[in-house]
Structure 1
Amino acid sequence: METGRRAFLLGQSPSRARTLPQPFRPPWAVAEAEFLDLCSRCGDCVAACPTGLLSPGSGNYPEADFLAGYCNFCADCARACKPLALNPRRQERPWQLLAHMGEDCLPRQGVLCRSCEERCEVGAIRFSPRLGGPALPWVDSLQCNGCGACVADCPTRAIRLAPPSSSPLQGN
């Protein structure tokens, strides 16, 4: 199903649908248009996810909800996907996402917090000391795998996952 037709069936105008952000699909999802064509919305990938990351989203298509879980890259969802809408054989990396720190980050407000660093198993979130306030976080994009474990642990929801910028070190 093409995106315009999907938007129409969801009661959205095609022009509005183009401006809406695409949902985060499960890891190893093929390109969005192909994903919508292949995915049968059976829910097998959602049931197979051991961390609770996947849930039925708009139109019952599976989406990754980083406030509910994180990805441990076990590939159980991909193994459960019979129509191959999730296909690790076609893509080496499960997705191109990195953690980005927003302005609501507590250390940026002068409050000591390191919950994201403590949760990051690969050590991609680091803190740089500064005079007159708590150390500030930065993300090493060469280390960050986009698992999203830091997102739910952030007390102010200041962390978002997004495609990487051109810089290997994210100061924000």
Structure 2
Amino acid sequence: MVLTARTRRGFLTGRSSDDPGGIFPSGGIFPPGATETSVRSCSGCGACVDACPTKIISIRAGVPVVDFLQGECTFCGQCAERCPESVFPAGIAGGFAHYAAISDGCLANNYVDCQACRDSCPAGAIRFWPRLGGPFVPELDAHACTGCGACIAVCPADAIAMKPRRREAGHV
């Protein structure tokens, strides 16, 4: 399989912008509020794609998926408003079923000063703490993270990925 890189980051990382690097069984990250079960009722009409002001939603394999390499989700709810099926829950979703995770490839973890993710995080979930003899290191508060993806597109090292939130058996 040959990947076609549409962006400079895609070329450098070897990842196509068509591949959002999904974390769910279907291979993609669903728009806010949509679930593996609810997307089964999606007809693939693309109304949510047209409604998204940040243009991060696309239809892949007949279902809506989000590509955070294109931008962030602002939780505006326009995708849900325009959807003619019951893919999205009633009301505006305030977060995703995932959170951001910073890998060891982070520039700051490797003694290169960078705080791009912190600067772009609207929830303030990423903080940087001082380190003796080097630049500040990142710490992500998974509970404060809404999963909006604002940190992904700005990361020059492609060191941030989404991880599904796991609920304890008692909370299911």
Q: Same fold (TM over 0.5)?
A: yes
Q: Secondary structure at the match of 2:37?
A: helix
1:109-158 superposed Cα distances (whole Å, 9 cap, x missing partner): 11000000010122110001111211110111232111100000000110
TM-score by length of 2: 0.76
How far residue 92 of structure 1 moved from its aligned partner, in angstroms, is 5.7
Determine the structure 2 residue equivalent to 1:134: 135
Q: Does 1:56 align with 2:59?
A: yes
Any gaps of 5 or more consecutive residues in structure 1? Answer: 1-18, 167-172
- Quick check: 2:54–2:73 contact (8 Å CA) kept in 1? yes
Aligned residue among 36, 39, 48 for 1:35: 39
Determine the structure 2 residue equivalent to 1:23: 28
* Higher gyration radius (CA): 1
Determine the structure 2 residue equivalent to 1:15: none
| % identical equivalent positions | 40
TM-score by length of 1: 0.76
CA distance in structure 2 between the partners assigned to 1:39 and 1:62 by the alignment? 8
- Quick check: 1:116–1:153 contact (8 Å CA) kept in 2? yes
Q: Does 1:83 align with 2:88?
A: no
Q: Does 1:119 align with 2:120?
A: yes
Q: Does 1:74 align with 2:76?
A: yes
How far residue 20 of structure 1 moved from its aligned partner, in angstroms, is 5.3
Determine the structure 1 residue equivalent to 2:16: none
Q: Secondary structure at the match of 1:160?
A: strand
- Quick check: 1:54–1:65 contact (8 Å CA) kept in 2? yes
CA distance in structure 2 between the partners assigned to 1:74 and 1:123 by the alignment? 19
Q: Secondary structure at the match of 2:151?
A: helix
Q: Secondary structure at the match of 1:129?
A: strand
Q: Secondary structure at the match of 1:103?
A: coil
- Cα RMSD of the aligned pairs, angstroms, is 2.0
Between Structure 1 and Structure 2, which shows a larger proportion of helix residues? 1
- Quick check: 1:88–1:94 contact (8 Å CA) kept in 2? no
1:40-99 superposed Cα distances (whole Å, 9 cap, x missing partner): 100000110001110122x2321100001210000000001111111234x864422211
Q: Secondary structure at the match of 1:79?
A: helix
Runs of 4+ in 1 over 6 A off after TM superposition: none
